[in-house]
Structure 1
Amino acid sequence: MFRDPAPAVETRLTGTSAPGAVVLIRLYVGDVFLPEGVPKFLRPDQLGTGRFDKASTLPSPASAGAAVRG
């Protein structure tokens, strides 16, 4: 009676009609960006937004960010 929703979700996430070369390019790009992005979440003060606070010559980076954001 009840259908398992897992196959539908898995098909939507992994299903593609792209050629094999496109899939390989996507995997290569992911292979580069994933190792670069994960450390930014693990150590945000050193590798993420915190490094801009340290490098900034602005007296108040938070207020400057609010002004830029609009």
Structure 2
Amino acid sequence: MGIRTVEITDDMIRLGQFLKLAGLAEDGGQAKSLIEEEEVTVNGRVETRRGAQLRDGDVVAVGEEKARLVTA
């Protein structure tokens, strides 16, 4: 499975918001659960902070699904 690209207009976005925007989580509750259950990686490392700040080029994965953050 390839990595989808998700574009934002700001310099950064928080992990919980990005999971929803990228379609990796249906809503904030699911995003929180995925993060708490250590099912989310950022650039290959498990991330447990919902408010972690993502920047241009970061790759977020949940299982086999991956999304790369790109700033406009």
Does TM, normalized by the shorter one, top 0.5?
A: no
The higher relative CO (CA closer than 8 Å, separation ≥ 6) is in 2
Task: Report the TM range for the smaller structure's normalisation.
Answer: under 0.3
TM-score, with length taken from structure 2: 0.26
Give the strand-richer structure, 1 or 2.
2
TM-score, with length taken from structure 1: 0.26
Larger radius of gyration: 1
Give the helix-richer structure, 1 or 2.
1
